[in-house]
């Protein structure tokens, strides 16, 4: 299922919302109702349903690790919307399910325009993670992170370990002076 299907960051353009015309509008959607409430509490406008989120969003940023957009979702996208992922295109996007009527043309470096009669959208970096666009990677550092993931639970579940709560010395000193 889709975690976060759409986020929009574009100028509000309807005359009925003059106060929002100069601010950026942010529209969010999540399949989890609790996350939708959290998004609303953080100031996001939450779409009433997935289809309206896709139709209103200027930028769809997929970060679920699951199939965020299916083939039949692409025609629902707002004209000119940008689609980007921060995971793998095979995980997030069902590009094989994109209707055959769409054609792809290069619209710039790492930007493809997908177009059919009366509808178009842009796909960034071929649907692959935009955060690794320029070959960035965590390199050997990832092995340290993986080691901590393995070592942490092992230490916590060891029979001779005791729960420990530590405070930063600076923060403790600040509290003892009454300023923290």
Distance CA 180, CA 38 (A): 28
> Does residue 18 carry a pLDDT above 70?
no
Most confidently modeled of 16-20, 45-49, 77-81? Answer: 77-81
Residues β-bridged to residue 116: 119
Q: Give the CATH H-level superfamily of domain 4-132.
A: NAD(P)-binding Rossmann-like Domain (3.40.50.720)
Average pLDDT, the chain: 74
Among 11-15, 101-105, 155-159, 175-179, the range scoring the smallest mean pLDDT is 11-15
What predicted TM-score, i.e. pTM, was given to this entire model?
0.61
Nearest to 26 by CA among 62, 50, 69, 59: 59
User: Could you read off the pLDDT of 25-73 as tens digits, one per residue?
Assistant: 566 788 888 988 998 898 888 888 889 889 988 888 888 878 889 999 9
Tell me the C-alpha distance between 56 and 71, whole Å: 18
∠106-86-98 over CA atoms, to 5°? 50
DSSP labels, 81-127: EEEEESS-HHHHB-GGGS-TT-EEEEEETTEEEEEETTEEEEEEGGG
Q: What is the pLDDT of residues 37-47, one digit of tens each?
A: 998 898 888 88
pLDDT of residue 97: 93
Q: In what order do the strands lie in the sheet with 119-124?
A: 45-46, 24-30, 4-11, 59-62, 81-85, 119-124, 111-116, 103-108
List the chain domain ranges: 4-132, 141-176
Tokens of 29: 């959607």
> Distance between CA 101 and CA 91 in Å, rounded?
23
User: Rounded distance, CA 45 to CA 58, Å?
Assistant: 14
pLDDT score recorded for residue 134:
67
pLDDT higher than threshold 70 for residue 81: yes
């Amino acid at each position: 299922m889709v975690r976060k299907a759409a986020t929009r960051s574009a100028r509000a353009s309807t005359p009925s919302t003059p106060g929002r015309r100069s601010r950026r509008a942010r529209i969010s959607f999540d399949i989890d109702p609790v996350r939708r409430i959290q998004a609303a509490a953080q100031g996001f406008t939450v779409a009433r349903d997935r289809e309206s989120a896709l139709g209103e969003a200027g930028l769809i940023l997929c970060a679920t690790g699951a199939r965020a957009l299916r083939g039949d979702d692409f025609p629902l996208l707002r004209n000119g919307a940008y689609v980007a992922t921060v995971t793998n295109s095979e995980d997030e996007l069902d590009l094989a399910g994109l209707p055959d009527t769409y054609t792809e043309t290069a619209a710039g470096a790492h930007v493809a325009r997908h177009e059919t009669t009366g509808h178009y959208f842009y796909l960034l970096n071929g649907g692959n993670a935009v955060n690794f666009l320029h070959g960035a990677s965590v390199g050997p550092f990832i092995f340290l992170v993986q080691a901590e993931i393995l070592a942490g639970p092992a230490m916590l579940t060891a029979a001779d370990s005791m729960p420990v709560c530590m405070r930063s010395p600076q923060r403790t000193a600040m509290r003892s002076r009454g300023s923290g």
